[in-house]
């Protein structure tokens, strides 16, 4: 995120430089072009960093879910899994009918 903040600051500085150049009547545009290029490069870097962080987050979440499934297969009794599946079917059926009933098996209202 810091790359995005730096690029935003660079673009703001670029606008200020353009204004100062216009006010003073200077015939040099290289400071504005340089700041614009730096801002664009930082923006591109920020996009690449965010894409990489998103990929890393999805990969980590996928690995954690796989680990939880493996642990559940090893340690959870099969009758608990079948009970969970039956509750899930009841909830899906209730939701598909549009009814708001207590959560199956608990007597508590769904939230």
Helix or strand holding residue 30 (H, E): helix 30-75
Q: What is the pLDDT of residues 15-56, one digit of tens each?
A: 888 888 888 888 888 888 888 888 888 888 888 888 899 999
Q: Which of 31, 13, 11, 12 is nearest to 21 (CA)?
A: 31
Return the bridge partners of 109, or none: 102
The model carries a pTM of 0.54
Quote the CA–CA distance of 82 and 104 in Å, as a whole number: 14
Distance between first and last Cα of the chain: 35
Quote the CA–CA distance of 3 and 42 in Å, as a whole number: 6
User: Collapsing DSSP states into helix, strand and coil, what is residue 106?
Assistant: coil
């Amino acid at each position: 995120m810091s790359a995005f903040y730096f690029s935003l600051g660079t673009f703001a500085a670029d606008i200020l430089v353009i204004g100062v150049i216009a006010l003073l009547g200077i015939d040099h545009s290289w400071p504005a072009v340089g700041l614009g290029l730096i801002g664009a490069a930082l923006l591109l870097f920020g996009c690449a960093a965010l894409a990489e962080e998103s990929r890393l987050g999805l990969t980590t979440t996928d690995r954690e879910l796989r680990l939880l499934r493996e642990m559940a297969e090893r340690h959870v009794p099969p009758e608990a899994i079948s009970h969970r599946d039956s509750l899930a079917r009841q909830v899906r059926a209730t939701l598909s009918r549009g009814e708001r009933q207590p959560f199956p098996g608990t007597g508590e209202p769904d939230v």
